[in-house]
Structure 1
Amino acid sequence: LAGPCVFLASKASDYINGYTIAVDGGWLAR
């Protein structure tokens, strides 16, 4: 779960908009 959170908080996610990201345990973050 930490990986996607770190990615979304980083500058690399500036161009990510409206995607659904599957995270550990089957949870979905939008």
Structure 2
Amino acid sequence: LDLKFYSESINIHFVHFRKNNIFSKFSKFSEL
């Protein structure tokens, strides 16, 4: 198990998740 690769992939998933989260909140906003 390559720990560096593992942590980087978690980082990428986390950033992606946060972007999606922010985007979905924003789109709920714009529906109002």
Q: TM-score, normalised by structure 2?
A: 0.31
User: Which structure has the highest strand share of the two?
Assistant: 1
Larger helix percent: 2
Relative contact order, higher structure (CA 8 A, sep 6+): 1
Q: TM-score, normalised by structure 1?
A: 0.32
